[in-house]
Amino acid sequence: MQKEKDKAKENFEEYRIDLRQKDAPKEFYNILGDIGQDLPKPIDDTGESFALLQKVLPKGVLELEFSDKDHIPIPEEIRDKFKMVNRPTPIIRARQLEAHFGNKVKIYMKMEGFTYVGSHKINSSIPQAYYAKADGAKFVTTETGAGQWGSAVALAASLFGLESKIFMVKVSYAGKPYRRYLMNMFGGEVHPSPSELTGFGRGILRKEPDSPGSLGMAITDAVEYAKEHGGKYVVGSVVNSDLMFKSIAGLEAKKQMESIGEDPDYVIGCVGGGSNYAGLAYPFLEEELKAGKIRRRYIAAGSAEIPKMTKGKYEYDYPDTGKVLPQLKMYTVGHDFVPPPIYAGGLRYHAVAPSLSLLMSKGIVEARDYDQNESFRYAKLYSKIEGYVPAPETSHSFPIIEEIAKKAGSKKPVVLMSFSGNGMLDLANYAEAFGFDAAQKGAGKQ
């Protein structure tokens, strides 16, 4: 114990906890190995969705989707590519934010925004591109909304020498040019969805030429294009394999926290489909699940505008608006829920990944919802005092820290948060939310 305390003290003058590339984890953690027997099975109610997935998903991904092994060796090529995109990411001690909360908590941030694409999404696109290549595919397809997932797929595909066809929701294609350009710089091919390239897309456009598109439509475009042209379709959230790939963040974080003799009392993060939060939390949960005793507190934050975790129902629902995929038992506000146009695009999803939903139903993971104003206050504060601009999604986790700090006693609790992405390409959204342009007009704007 004394040794641990000394170690922690030794680190006190530093902010950054590095993990060298040679010490990177060599296995993924698959939570199905510990809770798989309790997980409600997917339902193929159309009689076609399983067959479709078998055709379009990479074989290796499909196998992992139903694996109940708890530790899965990471193929060397995947580990190599993780290093190429700046993994392991550091953990940052957010000392100025601690001061803001009266030094009542210790705050550690797992910085997923440090990857080259700027978010945790690359943790899953690299393995999926690897398995697509192993199948002999020449290209991968996927859908993207704001473009975080799409840029992660474009880069992963290029690193493996594959092409990528990214179907981007048309309204975002027009309104989020920076992430689209990023995909182009990575060598990705971006198509507005609904797309002229698929029968589905042409059908929509014939009826409604000005359709703004939706994530559900983009999924159908991407799946159909892969099916028709012999590519592989890759999935950016919700499914078991995706959550497993993203465990790389939590596995690194465990090593990093151990290296400084700290053990988190709270593991927190934001939830769109759940893979960001699961990626950090599950590797910490492992020992507790195996021991049958939960000793840490796990708290996930969503958007109050899409309150699936706090007001949704735990029931079977489609993961996609198009209803081509199997039904899953999830906390959901309904696959036809139309979310308001919030800036944290990554939180707009209607449901929570099956394994995370199960953990929530058992009370192992707690849920909070915060609205945009509450979250964005912290985005600005963090930028100013810590110097790093969080993604809009990420900023939804800060109010959890406020809650913890308010209740903290004399022993400082240790909080570990998933800093899911940076907000450099979301600056226009912040400017709009904070009225930067209007505020500066008085100062002589032309």
Stretch that binds its own copies, among 66-74, 153-161, 250-258, 271-279 (CB under 8 A): 153-161
Does 351 bind its own copies (CB under 8 A)? Our answer is: no
Kindly tell me which of 79 and 104 has the beta carbon lying closer to its own copies. Answer: 79
Does 178 bind its own copies (CB under 8 A)? Our answer is: yes
Stretch that binds its own copies, among 40-48, 64-72, 235-243, 426-434 (CB under 8 A): 426-434
Q: Exactly one of 189, 288, 315, 402 binds its own copies (CB under 8 A); which one? A: 189
The strand pairing partners of 313, in sequence order, are 332
Task: Indicate the pairing of strand 163-169 with strand 27-29.
Answer: unpaired
Does 186 bind its own copies (CB under 8 A)? Our answer is: yes
Cβ neighbours around 413 below 10 Å, total? 18
Torsion angle of C-alpha atoms 190, 135, 84, 153, degrees rounded to 10: 20
Q: Exactly one of 28, 173, 200, 225 binds its own copies (CB under 8 A); which one? A: 173
Does 187 bind its own copies (CB under 8 A)? Our answer is: yes
Q: How far is the CB of 184 from its own copies (least distance, A)?
A: 5
Helix or strand (DSSP H, E) at 72 = strand 71-73
Q: Exactly one of 43, 383, 403, 412 binds its own copies (CB under 8 A); which one? A: 383
Does 420 bind its own copies (CB under 8 A)? Our answer is: no
Interior angle at CA 243, CA 240 and CA 249, nearest 5: 160
DSSP H helices, 1-72, are: 2-10, 32-35, 49-56, 59-65
User: Quick check: 251 and 286 in contact, CB under 8 A?
Assistant: no
Does 206 bind its own copies (CB under 8 A)? Our answer is: no
> How far is CA 432 from each of CA 141, 177, 386, rounded to the nearest angstrom?
32, 16, 22
Residues making up the chain, counted from first to last = 446
Does 177 bind its own copies (CB under 8 A)? Our answer is: yes
Q: Exactly one of 60, 118, 273, 326 binds its own copies (CB under 8 A); which one? A: 118
Q: Exactly one of 44, 75, 104, 116 binds its own copies (CB under 8 A); which one? A: 116
> How far is CA 207 from each of CA 59, 211, 214, 342, rounded to the nearest angstrom?
36, 9, 15, 28
Kindly tell me which of 21 and 46 has the beta carbon lying closer to its own copies. Answer: 21
Q: State the binding string over 63-92 for its own copies (x if CB under 8 A, else -).
A: -----------------x--xxxx------
Q: Could you tell me how many residues of this chain bind its own copies (CB under 8 A)?
A: 65
Does 259 bind its own copies (CB under 8 A)? Our answer is: no
Q: Is the dihedral of CA 109, 115, 118, 119 positive or negative?
A: negative
- For residue 268, give the nearest of 396, 416, 106, 110 by alpha carbon: 416
Does 108 bind its own copies (CB under 8 A)? Our answer is: no
- Looking at residue 266, the DSSP 8-state letter turns out to be E
Q: Position 165: which residue type?
A: K
Q: Exactly one of 36, 65, 75, 158 binds its own copies (CB under 8 A); which one? A: 158
Does 117 bind its own copies (CB under 8 A)? Our answer is: yes
Q: Exactly one of 290, 384, 406, 438 binds its own copies (CB under 8 A); which one? A: 384
| DSSP three-state, residue 215 | helix
Task: Indicate the pairing of strand 266-270 with strand 414-419.
Answer: parallel
The strand pairing partners of 301, in sequence order, are 270, 368
Half-sphere exposure of 157 (CA within 13 A, CB side): 28
Does 149 bind its own copies (CB under 8 A)? Our answer is: no
Kindly tell me which of 36 and 177 has the beta carbon lying closer to its own copies. Answer: 177
Cβ neighbours around 395 below 10 Å, total? 31
Q: Exactly one of 53, 132, 159, 223 binds its own copies (CB under 8 A); which one? A: 159
Interface ranges with its own copies (CB under 8 A): 13-16, 18, 20-22, 80, 83-86, 96, 114, 116-118, 155, 158-159, 170, 173-174, 177-178, 180-182, 184-187, 189-192, 195-197, 210, 379-380, 383-389, 423-425, 427-428, 430-431, 434, 436-437, 440, 443-446
